[in-house]
Amino acid sequence: MLHLVNKSPFESMGFEDCLKYAAKGSSILFYEDGIYGALPGTAIADRMASVTSDYKVYVLKEDMMLRGIDKIMDGITEVDYAGFVGLVEENKTASW
């Protein structure tokens, strides 16, 4: 399953709700303002580090570029639009 998170974890509970239902080994893709959850050195960085050990975590590169972000946490993979489409084609999805 691919879980899509588009809201900032600093402004929404979508990411935490996602984790309540996501099975270990599932994929999580952060896009739009959700990408702020992938930033190093934030209040949720330790939480995110533990998440990357149980889930495949991705961030949409184009949304990073639009927001001027060039560094994300270790363990998180950048994907472009083609990669995003590939993930959606390969998985059922849930949006948070």
Per residue in 4-46, pLDDT tens?
Answer: 999 999 999 999 999 999 999 999 999 999 999 999 999 999 9
Question: Which pLDDT does position 92 carry in this prediction?
Answer: 96
Question: Which pLDDT does position 85 carry in this prediction?
Answer: 97
CATH architecture, range 2-95: 3-Layer(aba) Sandwich (3.40)
Q: For the chain, what is the largest distance between any 2 Cα atoms, rounded to a whole number of angstroms?
A: 33
Q: How far is CA 25 from CA 42, 62, 67, in A?
A: 24, 25, 28
Residue 23 DSSP class: P
Q: How far is CA 4 from CA 23, 39, 41, 57, 72, in A?
A: 14, 17, 23, 10, 17
pLDDT digits (tens, 9 = 90+) for 38-74: 999 999 999 999 999 999 999 999 999 999 999 999 9
